[in-house]
Amino acid sequence: MAGDAPETSDILAEVRDLAASAAALVRELAEEDVVAFERLPDLPAAEARSSAPPVPAATPAPTRPTKVAKSPPTAAITPAATIGGPVPWAGRRPELAEVEAHLGDCQRCGLCEGRSKIVFGNGNPSADLLFIGEGPGAEEDTRGLPFVGRAGELLTQMIEKGIGIPRSEVYICNIVKCRPPRNRTPLPPEVAACRPFLDGQIEAIQPKVIVTLGKPAASLLLDREIAITRLRGTWQDYRGIPLMPTLHPAYVLRQYTPENRRAVWEDLKAAWDRVQA
Ligand code: URA
C-alpha cells in the first residue's frame, strides 16, 4: 500500500543518522590507531565442522582490526627524574623561575637540534587553571611562547570569550618544551627528558584544575593510552589535582564541527566551575 511506504524525509533522516554513526566509528577507530581490517585465515576444517550453525556461503570471512604504531605511545613512560640527574627541588615546592633556570639551554634530548627557541610556558605563575598541550609548533618555536599559532588563537578565544577571563590569568605549557620535527608527536625519550620540568611546573603552580589538550598530554599524566574522544569531559585525577581532558584545539580546527566546539566549551566550563567551587 502506498500509505505504508516510508516518507522520503524519514529515509533521509535515517541516512543522515547512519552517516553520522559511520563517521563517529571512523573517528574512534582512527583514535585507536586502527587503519585497516585484515582478513583472517579460513577456519580449520575441525572448527568448521563444529556445532556452530552453518555460515552462509556469501558471508565475508571474519576480519580483525589492524593497529599500527601511527603515533608513539606517550603513556607508560618511566618517570624521568633521573634523566640529567635529580632535580634540585626534590622534596619541596620549587619556584617556576627555578624550574626554568634548571632547564637552561637544554640539550637533554634530540629535539634541541631542530629548535629555534625553548617554549617553557607562560601565564600566571599562581594560576588556578593550568593548560597542558603537546609540544610547540612552528610559530611557538619562533617566538618562544606556547599556543601562539592558529591552534593558540582558538585556545585564547576559548579562554577569553568562552570562559571570560584574560589568557594571562591561566598558565599554559606543553609536555615537551622544544618543537618536534614537522610537528610530529614527541617520542617517549623526548617526553621522558622533559617530564621533570612539566612536573616542576605543576608543583610550582599548584593549580586547582589541570586541563589537558589532546591525547598525548592526557595519556602522559594518566599513565595509560587513552582515547580522547571517549575520555574527554570526564573528571580524572593527577596526584590529587582534578584533571579535565579535552580535545586539542588543532583537532577542533581540523574537525570544525558544532559538536567538537560544544564539547570543548562544556569541558572548559566544567573546569572553570570546579576552579570556582
Ligand atoms: N600545539 C601544542 O600542543 N602546543 C603549542 O604550544 C602549540 C600547538
CA distances from 198 to 5, 130, 191 (A): 62, 11, 10
CA–CA separation, 104 and 98 (whole Å)? 10
State if residue 147 touches ligand 1 by the CB under 6 angstroms criterion.
yes
- Winning range, highest mean pLDDT, from 18-22, 54-58, 135-139: 135-139
CA–CA separation, 93 and 202 (whole Å)? 10
Instruction: Yes or no: say if 273 and 242 are a contact pair by the CB < 8 Å rule.
Output: no
Q: pLDDT band for 52, please (50, 70, 90 cuts).
A: very low
Distance 93 CA to ligand 1 centre (A): 26
- Winning range, highest mean pLDDT, from 28-32, 39-43, 86-90: 86-90
Strands (DSSP E) found in the chain: 34-39, 63-67, 122-123, 129-133, 171-174, 209-213, 236-238, 241-246
Instruction: Yes or no: say if 140 and 250 are a contact pair by the CB < 8 Å rule.
Output: no
Percent of the chain at pLDDT above 90? 69
Q: pLDDT band for 15, please (50, 70, 90 cuts).
A: low
- pTM, two decimals, is 0.75
> How much is the mean pLDDT over the chain?
82
State if residue 216 touches ligand 1 by the CB under 6 angstroms criterion.
no
Ligand 1, closest atom to CA 119?
6
Asked if the model's pLDDT at residue 263 lies above 60, the reply is yes
pLDDT of residue 45: 40
Asked if the model's pLDDT at residue 100 lies above 80, the reply is yes
State if residue 152 touches ligand 1 by the CB under 6 angstroms criterion.
yes
Ligand 1, closest atom to CA 214?
3
CA–CA separation, 268 and 256 (whole Å)? 17
Instruction: Look up residue 236 and give its amino acid.
Output: Q
CA–CA separation, 22 and 18 (whole Å)? 6
Distance 4 CA to ligand 1 centre (A): 55
pLDDT of residue 79: 45
Asked if the model's pLDDT at residue 234 lies above 70, the reply is yes
Task: Enumerate the domain spans of the chain.
Answer: 96-276
CA–CA separation, 197 and 183 (whole Å)? 20
Question: 3-state class of 119 per DSSP?
Answer: coil
Find the mean pLDDT for residues 189-218. Answer: 98
CA–CA separation, 191 and 208 (whole Å)? 24
pLDDT of residue 256: 96
Specify the fold of 96-276: Uracil-DNA Glycosylase, subunit E (3.40.470)
Residues contacting 188, CB < 8 A, separation 6+: 72, 73, 74, 77
Instruction: Look up residue 170 and give its amino acid.
Output: V
Find the mean pLDDT for residues 184-195. Answer: 97
Ligand 1, closest atom to CA 172?
6
Nearest CA-CA partner of 179 in 190, 164, 188: 190
pLDDT of residue 60: 40
**b/e 66-78 (16+ beta carbons within 10 angstroms → b):** eeeeeeebbbebe
Q: pLDDT band for 55, please (50, 70, 90 cuts).
A: very low
Distance 276 CA to ligand 1 centre (A): 26
Distance 247 CA to ligand 1 centre (A): 12
Find the mean pLDDT for residues 190-206. Answer: 98
CA–CA separation, 170 and 158 (whole Å)? 12
Nearest CA-CA partner of 149 in 163, 130, 169, 135: 135
User: 34 is written with which cell numbers?
Assistant: 586502527
pLDDT of residue 30: 55
Least confident of 24-38, 136-150, 168-182, 191-205: 24-38
pLDDT of residue 26: 53
pLDDT of residue 223: 98
Pairing of strands 34-39, 129-133: unpaired
The 10s digit of each residue's pLDDT in 56-86 is: 333 344 344 444 434 454 443 334 445 678 9
CA–CA separation, 119 and 201 (whole Å)? 13
State if residue 174 touches ligand 1 by the CB under 6 angstroms criterion.
yes
Residues contacting 158, CB < 8 A, separation 6+: 249, 264, 265, 268
User: 242 is written with which cell numbers?
Assistant: 582534578
